[in-house]
Amino acid sequence: MTIAFVGLGIMGSPMAANLVAAGHAVTGYDVSAERVDELVARGGKGASSVAEAVTGAAVVITMLPDSPQVEQVAPDVVEHASPGLLYLDMSTIRPETSRWVAGLAAARGVRALDAPVSGGERGAIDGTLSIMVGGAAEDVEAARPVLGALGTTIVHVGPAGAGQTVKAANQLVVGGIYGLVAEAIVLLEASGVDPVAGLDVLAGGLAGSRVLDLKRHTMIRRQFAPGFRIDLHHKDMGIAIAAAREAGVSLPLTGQVAQLVAAARAQGHGSLDHSALLKVIERLNS
């Protein structure tokens, strides 16, 4: 397929490269010309604007930092869309923004899906992302050949905006696990127990998780190179809190995790990986 990819950051760049590797004709646009050049070096094409990327494409994918960026780009996408264009917004944004995008698209004959992802930079590189999709069932089926190059778990979770609600649930769980793994490391070290051995045991039992599988050793070594930045997780926790308010439910643990993430950002760790919640727990105990 002819695909326009808008947003070539930590996640978007390897995702676009995987689409190229799968045989799709991918034209990329990003505010960073260097990122566009990287896609061209991998076999894609570059564009100097959203309009240029979208014109003539059968599929458009946006992978942007937050709702304001999506709100800025979406009108350009639908204005320059070919008839029947499939528009996949894979950003993590507010559910109401996804519903707004779906309405904007439908008015111009564009098929829109919200399709946020989980799996971090590693999942984006390996093409093993988990993708939660909101929108019409027939449009989800039409998108599967594209999504299959990006992820291994692709689930239609409901109408427009539902994908973002599921992503909010994902982020509150991931944040909570990071916080608890951080507390486990602090407890083990303060007790004189080897944290490597301790977390290896935990990873093989009921406490096992993808977080432990992928991040326990780098957390113990205090290596926090960003696969997913604290700044972005702070934004996502805000989405989760807002979604809970809209649904009229109380999520007390989510509120506590949101405060820990906010503390990490306030302490200057916003550019670090979200596993840097360990630094907050350590500071509480210093």
Domains of the chain, start order: 2-158 (3.40.50.720), 165-284 (1.10.1040.10)
| 229-253 confidence digits (pLDDT tens) | 999 999 999 999 999 999 999 999 9
Q: Is 279 a catalytic residue?
A: no
Active-site position among 167, 215, 235, 279: 167
Cβ 209 vs Cβ 177: under 8 Å = yes
H/E segment holding residue 183:
helix 162-190
The whole-angstrom separation of Cα 81 and Cα 145 is 20
Amino acid identity at 123? G
Between the alpha carbon of residue 185 and those of residues 12, 193, 216, the distances in Å are: 32, 9, 9
| 64-91 confidence digits (pLDDT tens) | 999 999 999 999 999 999 889 999 999 9
Phi, psi of 102 (to 5 degrees): -60, -40
| 19-65 confidence digits (pLDDT tens) | 999 999 999 999 999 999 999 999 999 999 999 999 999 999 999 99
pTM of the predicted structure, to 2 decimals: 0.92
CB-count burial class (<10 Å; 0-12, 13-18, 19+) for 71: middle
Tokens of 214: 């992928």
